[in-house]
Chains A and B, each alone.
Chain A
Amino acid sequence: MTPAEILDSLFPAGHDVTAEGDLLFGRGTSPGGRVVHVIGATARAPIGIDQAIRLSGAVLAIACSDDDAPILFLVDSASQRMSRRDELLGLSEYLAHLAKSLLLAEARGHRTIGLLYGGSAAGAFISTALACDTLVALPGAHPEVMDLASMARVTKLSIDLLEDKAKTTPVFAPGLDNLVSVGGVAEVWDPQRSLADQLATLLAAPRDHDARATLGAERQGRPKAAAIAGEVAAAARR
């Protein structure tokens, strides 16, 4: 689905979402009359310092407003922008700041829903979609941590070996199913059904803690994380 099709299905009563380069900003109204803030990182574009600071500014403006309207974050990005300039100016701070802004907005009463409808990778994925309280995806979304060529360079493993392992090993291979199995994506929406209905259902269910490790254990993509984290937390509190 395109961003326009997604927004039409989410907000049949209308929206004022507009593009600013590859970013989206605006609001939509749900069929039930509920206002939803919308931000977006689209067109498979990388997220560098210039994009991150614009997105965090929008999130903080929402966070300081009096309403408790949810934030919907549409994501179809590349990885973080890989450049000398971005690293020189401290990209890690800009991406962390964006993630913190989303987490603070959530703490101040805004649900934050990530909707992954295309690609996303690495630091861009972590600081956008994965910093939301709940991440959902549409079929055809294709998240990844790192492309296999870069992975080969870093791990010193051959690209042939990585491509071979990628076919059978969900814990490291790119792709939506694999991110679902480790608990990173809560649910995959059905594009044939009203997205407004699916969003309403999601928002109606209370959400009070980070359930990703539990999901990963249930789906057998991350067998140990939930138990280990729980054991450390319990030991520290004894």
Chain B
Amino acid sequence: MQVHKYDVVIVGAGGAGMRAAIESGQRARTAVLTKLYPTRSHTGAAQGGMCAALANVEEDNWEWHTFDTVKGGDYLVDQDAAEVMAKEAIDAVLDLEKMGLPFNRTPEGRIDQRRFGGHTRDHGKAPVRRACYAADRTGHMILQTLYQNCVKHNVEFYNEYYVLDLLVVEDDAVREDGTPYKQKRVAGVVSYDLASGEIHVFQAKAIVFATGGAGKVFKTTSNAHTLTGDGMGIAFRRGIPLEDMEFFQFHPTGLAGLGILLSEAARGEGAILRNSEGERFMERYAPTIKDLAPRDIVARSMANEVREGRGAGPNKDYVLLDLTHLEPAHIDAKLPDITEFARTYLGVEPYTEPVPVYPTAHYAMGGVPTNIKGEVLQDNDTIIPGLYAAGEVACVSVHGSNRLGTNSLLDINVFGKRSGINAAEYAKTADFVDLPDNPTAETIAMLDVVRSGTGTEKVAAIRSDLQETMDANMQVFRTADSITTALGDIEKLRERYRNISIQDKGKRFNLDLLEAVELGFLLDLAEAMTVAALHRKESRGGHYREDFPDRDDANWMKHTMLYKDPTAETEGIKGIRFGTKPVIFTRYEPMERKY
């Protein structure tokens, strides 16, 4: 076991992690641990843009952006956080430009802006041009620019170091009202060096989790193979709650059958969704902003068209994204990558043919609860000093029950920056927390169980069965029956997981072992999502219950908080305790959500 000491350790090197590193690295001794090379992170796959009310091309202001974010999230958004994000969006974009990001430009040389779903002028009157972009590779440019600036500032990376545990200690403490409680503190992380198979402990005063999402619980997903929810899983196992896990976003336009993302920017540039009869069906569901309605609404509308028999294709199981009325030169200038995806993977020429699309699992609105400083919460009121989270792993909550397009690239920049600054400032005055005795014991035990397992079950088969049941039962339409089916399947899969074996027994780049560990996290998170979905008996944003089709503010205007607790039981699942957390309101009273 090797032990390293840093003031700040950042786990994950996507947009949030590297944005944090740029700030932290200039203020405190910082290390970034990442299970990939930084430039492989999935921020690079984001396409369409990053919204900020720059008002470069038409009237706009951050208050309209805040409102759209709150309404887009079906009022489950914490409004203080949305306000921070919309206000700081402007500097976040300007920061990136100054770091070198090559945004598309207006004829006057300013950052160009385009339309995106759910972003409107004056509280819903019409679509507004708010998304700053670089063709349809905005995420790629953000990831590259942040990495370039990490190189510039000599940020220290530990590439292909897979963090497997968070070292948490608990102290006896007393609340203001006199009640005793256990205060969590963090001492460091345990990581596994993929190249050598060795365990490294990183002791740190402050830790930032920026590990990304968990899209691989689903089969049809825009997410990378590596997005297995490790950070959420580690936190949950260590007694940190997970917030709003029932809310998962399905992006409307995944390439049919493959799930590869085709940006909403296509519709922002004028593309139209059509059913097998050629109808622009979004006119039925969102008469004002049509194809530019928020993603949850568009995804459900598409699934409904298919369900009612108006799907296209031989099996009538997808709809069509029509770009054929756009000028090829315009498509080439604004949407070069996604049109190439259609050509490469489906053999469809978007200049002349509509592209088959269907919703694809895209983004976890929920995650590790934080406040607007990026500090992680151990319960509704108590922070864990020194522990921060930002980006998709976190739930701050700026996305509520449905994230607007472009707001994740914004989230990682705003809250990545905040977390990086706050972690470094905290580390300046804090002491190291002593490592617990034998800090690697649990990690080594977990790896040994996987490595020495002699069972008959295969990791890939269990993962595939998990993804099948999640796609079938936890997608855009849910009922008590479908969710219960998924939950039953997950419990059986957890049994099977105890009986796995892997073939690679070596130390060097043992990715067989890695996938087995990742599957453990996927199963934990799928269970959390499913339990939370069964519990929430209403429809809101990305969570649509056909047995409870209306939003129910009287009973459910609150965040879900799930805790791992051996003494508790929720929805028949032992070991999970259910709690809630109030939604923070500042300016906006809940209204019916119409577009």
Q: Decide if A and B are genuine partners.
A: no
B residues adjacent to A (C-beta < 8 A)? none
